[in-house]
Amino acid sequence: MSNIHDDLIKAFNNQEESAIPLSVWHHFTPNEHVQADDNQYFVDADITNEPKFVESVDSDFVKLMNDGFFTYNLNNVENSNDIDSLKSITEIDKDNIWLTSQSKILREQIKSLDSDKIKFSNVFSAITLFKWILIADQPDVDVEIANGKFADLYEKNPKVVIHALEVINEDIKKQIKVGHDAGVDGIFFSTQEIQDDRIDKEFFDKVQKRLDDELIEYINQNFDIGILHICGFAGAQNHLEWFVGYDLPVFNWATKFDGYSLSEGKKLFKNKVVLGGLGNTENDVLVTGNKEEIQAEIDKLLDETGTTGIIIGADCTVPRDTPDEHIRWAAEAAHTYNQRKGS
């Protein structure tokens, strides 16, 4: 490995970097929202494809993919879309297949990768996980439908929904512990506002932030590093200023949708380490550009943002058909930026 590992450590510590790290990732299955349950296909896909991808693009750090495990079956709940059924929710046991399968996946992924690679496991907030559970039986529908379903339930009985979210939070803590016990180095924590006007800032402040903060505290108790991903998947928009107080050291958000560039976000988030800058759609330069265009985009980002506490990445997961060569071009541009600029 080059000295990029040392520069990655500098970046995570908000120090000036000589070579700027870069990492992006994509899903390994046709639809990551299909719930795996006991389907071995998803376990095998996550285990076998991770090392192939990491080796091909030489990722500077690795977000371990868990396609098929974005959702799970709520314990003692027959129908998640029924408010009366939700009243019966209880925590899952530590031997639940959702946890044991992820444990197996993470351990096998870690075993297959260079020990020097810094590895993160993927964890969603209770809000995100629950809304996706509401459409788990329809994985091919527009995931944004889940926002309306969430708001419908919340209007019917806020107390029941909040209680369900609190139970889910406890289940997520078990998921975080699975990652810790498997040997990951940190958590990639993904959260997102509910995309429905009926769910407002009062809900965010009193419910979502409280639950997210509880998980972040648990992450910080178990890991030295964590990444906050304010998810702009499928064009979702978030009020970034609502997240300023979140206590994780690295922030990642959708620069193309949320109104803050990488440099503006670093100021907004009070000089936290920032990850991102590249768009993640089929029309963005990482997919469509040639080597010169990709290098120009990387240079523009670093010209604006500087080289202290900066990691180049994408707004969210990049398209599956993003050429590996394009990712290598982007990494080369980031790694050589200071050298080429004479810094």
Tell me what percent of the residues of the chain surpass a pLDDT of 70. 99
96 pLDDT above the threshold of 70: yes
% the chain with pLDDT above 90: 93
With cut-offs at 50, 70 and 90, classify the pLDDT of residue 1. very low
The string of pLDDT tens digits covering residues 179-227 is 999 999 999 999 999 999 999 999 999 999 999 999 999 999 999 999 9
pLDDT reported for residue 306 = 97
Given a contact cutoff of 8 angstroms between Cβ atoms, the answer to whether 60 and 331 are in contact is yes
Q: Is the Cβ–Cβ distance between 215 and 226 less than 8 Å?
A: no
Averaged pLDDT for residues 16-35? 96
Mean pLDDT within 60-77: 98
- Residue 332, pLDDT > 90, answer yes
- Token look-up 């050429």 returns 323
- pLDDT category, 343, cuts 50, 70, 90? low
pLDDT band at 234 (very low <50, low <70, confident <90, very high): confident
Give the pLDDT mean for 25-35.
Answer: 95
pTM given for the model = 0.97
Which pLDDT does position 103 carry in this prediction? 98
Alpha-carbon span 209 to 220, nearest angstrom: 16
Specify the long-range contacts of residues 2-11, CB closer than 8 Å, at least 24 apart: 2/335, 4/60, 4/335, 5/60, 5/116, 5/118, 8/60, 8/61, 8/118, 8/311, 11/273, 11/309, 11/310, 11/311
Model pLDDT, residue 2: 47
Average pLDDT, the chain: 96
**39 vs 68, 100, 104, CA distance in Å?**
9, 13, 14
pLDDT over threshold 60, residue 279: yes
What CATH number has the domain bearing residue 328?
3.20.20.210
Q: Number of folded domains in the chain?
A: 1
pLDDT at 272 over 70: yes
Domain of residue 68: give its range: 4-341
Q: How far, in Å, are 91, 92, 102, 135, 288 from residue 96 at the CA level?
A: 10, 6, 10, 21, 42
Dist. CA 188–CA 200, nearest whole Å? 25
